[in-house]
Chain A
Amino acid sequence: MDVFIAGFGVVGQGITEVIRDKQELFIKHFGEKVRIVGAFDTKSLALDPSGLDPDELLKRKDSLGKVGKDEVSDDIVKLLQDTEYDLLLEVTPTNIKDGGAGYMHIHTALSAGRHVATSNKGPLALKFRELTELAERNRVHLRYEASVGGAMPVINLSRELLMGEEIASMRGILNGTCNFILHRMKEERFSFQFALREAQELGYAETDPSYDIDGIDSACKLAILANAIFDRDVTYADVSRTGIRGISEEAVALAAEHKQVIRLIGEVSKEKLEVAPRLVPAGHPLSIGGTLNIAQLLTDLAGDVTVVGRGAGRMETASALLSDILAILKNGETRRDAKR
């Protein structure tokens, strides 16, 4: 299978390493290699139909700050339409206003009959139905495990392993940064501002942390889960959203007196779609600390099914992308097979 990588930041480099290191697995289970035939970042393009050397791409990015030797084409649409590949790995940064370049990349690849696996929340949180219907029409796969919860396999678990279950609701912690801040406020009695500053210093929060602490990131993930698991037709804007900015030390301490912790919880069912701080009993699975993500699914036969994992990071996101690559290899024909 030939893959094209759109975006060569932290996640793009992570999945390149994984593809390099898992060749034996691909050959053992599917009898074929996975080759990288193209990759681009904001500055450059690398292209070779016979396969690029992953180490060379990583080395060039590390030393020169760009993935390819050539300048990236102005016409990315044409590039993604005309290049021969089976799967687009779309790992550019999220744009929540209009889906940005990620939307255009995914739309183009699907329209051209290519499978897509993505970690990009923006296009899915805004145009989920449009993109999934486009994939169906073109009989290709659109997979997005990496867009929610990093290494926490909630989407594939729900849609594949729990396929026979009626899932009534899902509650979970979908943003590690908020969880870290709330955890530190409780454990160290830090003020919100102090805990936020610590999160920024440790690299968990951006300089502008509003995307995390105002619940936007969680709302995007919840919208994707609502569409993917609960068959709803919603966008990120439909999510009722309250962030954690207003939470005071007094509130955290008062909750602790009542053996409760405050956590930013996303909740989705056929009726509900909300991200908000909630009181969670200490010791409850959703009271976990640190930067972990957790999702608790309420099912009709198996009862509560809980899945925990690292919500972000280079290898964690690459792990989710790998699961999608394997699923495409397992379930679908590659584009060239379909042509034969």
Chain B
Amino acid sequence: MKVNVDLSLMDMPGQLIRALEPISANNGNVIGVIHDHEAIVGGRITVNVTFEVHSDLALENILATWKENDVIMIKMDAVFESYPLQYLLVGDISSKEIESLTHGMESMEGLASMDIRITGSLTSGSRAAMVTGRVTRHGSLETVEQFFRQHADNGGYMLIRGLE
């Protein structure tokens, strides 16, 4: 599980290490730290930390240690990992087909976001559509690919996949 927190620390040397130590002590992995030295309020600064932990218990231990060490947590969000998808469709793609793809994708479990951009002439039969988006589970990528492959085979147009 990825977690993103805003922490309020005393603006004193060693405080950041004091905040990060409980994460590694609980087998967590620090992914990013944003440390704004300019914004000091009441002798405290805000630090944004993104980290990964393997269990709820590990997270509870980290939160308890922060409380003991006077590290104040202002905000906490769980960050869900998501995986990019990208497809380029080329050929005679009707508006009805685009609509069908959109509805099919929207009803798919695990879809976090999706965007379709279309170019080309409606009358020439030569169009290109770029589908981009994200899914929240790695396994969903295979389902999405099968979905597009099936549509491309049935519709007789070319499917170009992203280099995942």
Interface of A with B (CB < 8 Å)? 171, 242, 246-248, 250-251, 253-255, 257-258, 260, 262, 265, 276-281, 284, 286
Q: Is B103 an interface residue (CB 8 A)?
A: no
Cβ contact within 8 Å between B158 and A279: no
Q: Find chain A residues with CB under 8 A from B157 CB.
A: 246
| 7 closest residue pairs by CB, A with B | A251-B128, A250-B128, A251-B90, A250-B120, A246-B158, A254-B128, A279-B162
The dominant DSSP class at the A interface is: mixed
Question: What number of residue pairs across chains A and B have CB atoms under 8 A from each other?
Answer: 65
Instruction: Kindly state the separation between the CA atoms of A300 and B161 in the bound complex, as whole angstroms.
Output: 25
A262 touching B88 in the complex, CB below 8 Å, given contacts A246-B158, A254-B128? yes
Q: Is B91 an interface residue (CB 8 A)?
A: yes
Cβ contact within 8 Å between B127 and A278: no
Cβ contact within 8 Å between B119 and A250: yes
Cβ contact within 8 Å between B158 and A247: yes
Closest-by-CB residue of B relative to A255 is B88
Q: Is B136 an interface residue (CB 8 A)?
A: no
How many residues on chain B are close to A (CB under 8 Å)?
19
Q: Find chain A residues with CB under 8 A from B91 CB.
A: 246, 248
Partner of A276, one of B90, B129, B160: B160
Closest-by-CB residue of A relative to B157 is A246
Instruction: Kindly state the separation between the CA atoms of A246 and B128 in the bound complex, as whole angstroms.
Output: 11
Contact indicator per residue, chain B 116-131, by CB within 8 Å of chain A (1) or not (0): 0101100000111110
Closest-by-CB residue of B relative to A245 is B158
| Distance between B146 CB and nearest chain A CB, rounded to angstroms | 14
Instruction: Kindly state the separation between the CA atoms of A281 and B86 in the bound complex, as whole angstroms.
Output: 11
